């Protein structure tokens, strides 16, 4: 099954919301929009959202309440904060709550594109890794079942050779998992480097 991400854009500025939807239409993702926090909560409850671009200041239900909902429900949604009222305290609080990144309005669209692509790449690699691990687990269980059946048929004289075969399979499985983890680590390091300067900046500003 292919990875088909969903992006939710939340902003009470409808023209900006719709502009972002058009701008991100080349991301091979389904894009949803909400014009207030309440509508965002409804969509989060009905859909598995991979990435949310979230305005912080909105009437009634604001960005902080949406972030709290995502965390309280244990949703695996990456959060990119967008705000026209940036502050050091707001940025630090957002990062403490686990947001993926914090962007100031008006933002650079190239920076926004990189941030969205990095977030989706990390989600995609995690998805592919989980599917590969599940396939390996199923193959491992099936091999163990067949070896047990064959061992019973052949008798104890062949048990040692079967044990060696199992050991070889476990080593091969471990090596395969390690090879799957490398691309994900590389993407994570790249995006962390790009996001790290912002976290460092807001920390220095506060101090």
Domain layout of the chain by residue ranges? 6-120, 122-197
pTM for the model: 0.69
Q: Are 197 and 190 in contact (CB under 8 A)?
A: no
- How far is Cα 3 from Cα 127, in angstroms, rounded to an integer? 7
- How far is Cα 97 from Cα 84, in angstroms, rounded to an integer? 19
Q: Are 90 and 72 in contact (CB under 8 A)?
A: no
Q: Pick 6-120's CATH classification: 3.40.1120.10, 3.40.50.2300, 3.40.50.300, 1.10.390.10.
A: 3.40.50.2300
- How far is Cα 181 from Cα 178, in angstroms, rounded to an integer? 5
Which tens digits make up the pLDDT trace of 33-81?
Answer: 999 999 999 999 999 999 999 999 998 899 999 999 999 999 999 999 9
């Amino acid at each position: 099954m292919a990875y088909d991400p969903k992006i939710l854009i939340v902003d009470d500025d409808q023209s900006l919301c719709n502009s972002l939807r058009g701008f991100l239409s080349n991301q091979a993702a389904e894009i949803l929009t909400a014009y207030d926090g309440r509508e965002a909560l409804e969509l989060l409850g009905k859909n598995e959202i991979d990435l949310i671009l979230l305005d912080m200041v909105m009437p009634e239900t604001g960005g902080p309440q949406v972030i709290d909902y995502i965390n309280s429900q244990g949703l695996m949604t990456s959060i990119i904060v967008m705000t026209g009222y940036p502050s050091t305290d707001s940025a630090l609080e957002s990062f403490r709550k686990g947001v993926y990144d914090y962007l100031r309005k008006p933002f650079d669209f190239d920076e926004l594109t990189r941030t969205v692509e990095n977030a989706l790449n990390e989600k995609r690699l995690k998805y592919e890794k989980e599917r590969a691990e599940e396939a390996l687990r199923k193959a491992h269980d099936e091999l163990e079942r067949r070896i047990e059946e064959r061992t019973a048929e052949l008798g104890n004289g062949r048990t040692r050779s079967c044990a060696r075969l199992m050991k070889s399979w476990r080593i091969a499985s471990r090596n395969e998992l390690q090879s799957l983890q490398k691309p994900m680590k590389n993407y994570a390091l790249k995006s962390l480097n790009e996001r790290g300067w912002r976290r460092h900046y807001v920390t220095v500003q506060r101090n």
